[in-house]
Copies of this chain bind each other. A is one copy, B any other.
Amino acid sequence: MLGRIVIDDLRPRTPSRSFPAKAVEGEAVTVSGDIFADGHDVLAARVRTRRRGARRWGGEAPMVHLGNDRWETIVRFDGPGRHEVVVEAWRDRFATWRHDVSVKAGAGQDVELELEEGARLLDELTPLVPELRRAMVADAAAALRRSACSVEVRLNAGLDDAVAAAVAGVPLPGGVSAADPLPVWVDRPRGRAGAWYELFPRSEGGFSGVAKRLAAVADMGFDIVYLPPVHPIGRQHRKGRDNTLAAGPDDVGSPWAIGAAEGGHTALHPELGTFDDFDAMVAEARDQGMEIALDYALQCAPDHPWVGEHPEWFHHRPDGTIRYAENPPKRYQDIYPINFWPEDEADRVALWEASRDILTFWIGHGVRTFRVDNPHTKPMAFWAWAIPDIQRAHPDVLFLAEAFTRPKVMAKLAEVGFTQSYTYFTWRTTKAELTAYVTELSTGPTADYMRPNFWPNTPDILSGPLRNGSPAAFRLRLLLAATLSPSYGIYRGYEWCENEPQSDANEEYRNSEKYELRPRGWDDEAGPLTPFVRRVNQARRAHPALATLRNTRFHHSSKDALLVYSRASDEGDDLVLCVVNLDPDHWQEDTLSLDLGALGLPGDEAYEAHDELTGATYTWYGPHPYVRLDPAEQPGHVLHLRAARPA
């Protein structure tokens, strides 16, 4: 049965309402809903939160009525794990009485009976209010009944604001309507914001080589170092350089062709190092304030041990062979897809558990973040089971979905549990495209469950202005990724402005590192963009505003090449305005139109704009500052805005 008060359309929620919404520790999460009842009574509502399974409420916040029967409040969650949010509403009988009796008295109506009704209501409420205020409430009830006094005097005693405050938020027993709990999955802050750096350990001299370079990566300001698969690479049908069919004896193969005689998903490629080396690299990352993310690619090379041990986990053909991966007419003979739905249910359970146990194994080696390869080619039901199963025991584990697939599939992967998702950012380059896409991702229902991770490049994708692009184009796309999304990443080579495409028709790199070693310099020989990357990451670290997603707002510029957006911190105490020139070849100038009211800045006083990239500070007045951006110097301003100090 419906409750006495209707509580509807609650947010945050996911589209199917069958999975938890997402938040991070400490994030300001708006909880809202439609709340109404029959009649004219004043309503009150609150949100209570607790960890799933906990008996006690961990937090409580009163909701406010925004109008049109919509109520909201802000809550925060104290740590990773599954939480629940319950919205409760009740008729605020004292506020209703207070309103009605005031209006009646104001209209000259007799309120003698109303005074007694108010006194009785306070009698009921007295034992429920906090002890310190009980006497005050009881006194107010007595005052309402003090027949020696005039109606006016007694009424004033009953209308006392302190009394109203004391009983506000105190529902009478039996009068509370509660909505079904909203589940919210809470990640550690890195689940929302972080700078990723992808490198191939084999190009860096294996795990010990990576460990030596982590200080330089940390110095660039990255938070997560993501490694492509570190497992033995199949030899059967191994691919040669640039994805050619015939591998020579020295070809190293694709790390995604996982498994060989040396082992499968829980083994290390012998040439990368030992488990001791691996563990030392993980520890060194931690010492540098970073972490190592591994690739989780559920597929097997033909010589993966599972093929012999568990033929029932693969697809078989009438001639007894195992089906390799195909997307006709394309063939991937070096990869066997896994059959996630073997006929025998016991086989399915064994396979899914073995797949999950790969994660558990690496968690045992200190890994807390996984970049999941092609999650859309594995069953949605697998992720909906495996991710919560892992996170129940390890709530600090994060999953980034390499969901380069159709929009609804990408969204569903986020809904069923992925912490973050790769996005279409790589292919969004114009002002209209970027504005629409970031607005979709940062506002409304999407941001309740899907968190973007913007990558200007990956080992698979050299796209848009980066193809044969200038250093200015590389600076531009990095700045956009790093300031439009709280999570972003680059694949090493980016700071070297590697820009040579495989071919006009192919989005991949020429001399792709997926199939060969690509050693590059460090330290003195760092890439030409290294200082710029460092400055951008420093700006990100200095500004909590750049760690948020939902508070992104676009501002008007009359120029198609100028993208103007602001982001504010959860607390509202940090504000960054970015003005980016989308044209890497020509300077642009404009007089902007900022929405100062939305920014919380005064319209009639000076404010300061400090450029985090150049160190320059501008003093601006009003909503129409002039900007000029030359891409040869900088792709954009990253401006810390604040009201100017008095002169």
Contacts and interface: CB of A to CB of B under 8 A. Distances in A.
B69 A409 contact: yes
A127 interface: no
Given A9-B16, A409-B69, A412-B8, A106 B379 contact: no
Nearest to A317: B113
A219 interface: no
Interface string A336-365: 000011000000000000000000000000
Interface stretch (A36-44, A161-169, A513-521, A592-600): A36-44
A270 interface: no
Interface stretch (A133-141, A149-157, A321-329, A553-561): A321-329
A216 to B, nearest CB: 39
A215 interface: no
A328 B104 contact: yes
Interface string A103-115: 1101101000100
B8 A329 contact: no
B36 A113 contact: no
A590 interface: no
Interface stretch (A380-388, A530-538, A563-571): A380-388
A158 to B, nearest CB: 14
Contacts of A103: 328-329
A279 interface: no
A406 B327 CA distance: 54
Contacts of A113: 317-319
A148 interface: no
Contacts of A17: 17
A327 B409 contact: no
Contact of A2 (B36, B120, B407, B416): B416
A4 interface: yes
Contacts of A317: 113, 117
Interface string A369-384: 0000000111111001
B38 A106 contact: no
Interface in A397-456: 406-409, 412, 416
A96 to B, nearest CB: 10
A54 B406 CA distance: 38
Contact of A407 (B40, B68, B319, B380): B68
A381 B1 contact: yes
Interface residues of A, number: 52
B4 A381 contact: yes
A315 to B, nearest CB: 11
B408 A329 contact: no
A589 interface: no
A36 B408 contact: yes
A273 to B, nearest CB: 34
Given A36-B409, A317-B113, A408-B34, A107 B329 contact: yes
Contact of A16 (B8, B100, B104, B328): B8
A601 interface: no
A99 B326 CA distance: 13
Given A117-B317, A318-B117, A379-B38, A109 B329 contact: yes
A168 B326 CA distance: 24
A6 interface: yes
A224 B198 CA distance: 72
A3 interface: yes
A421 B300 CA distance: 60
Interface in A83-107: 99-100, 103-104, 106-107
Interface in A614-635: none
Given A9-B15, A113-B319, 19 more contacts: A2-B380, A2-B416, A3-B381, A4-B341, A4-B379, A6-B412, A8-B412, A36-B406, A36-B412, A38-B340, A38-B377, A38-B379, A38-B380, A39-B377, A106-B329, A107-B329, A113-B318, A117-B317, A120-B318
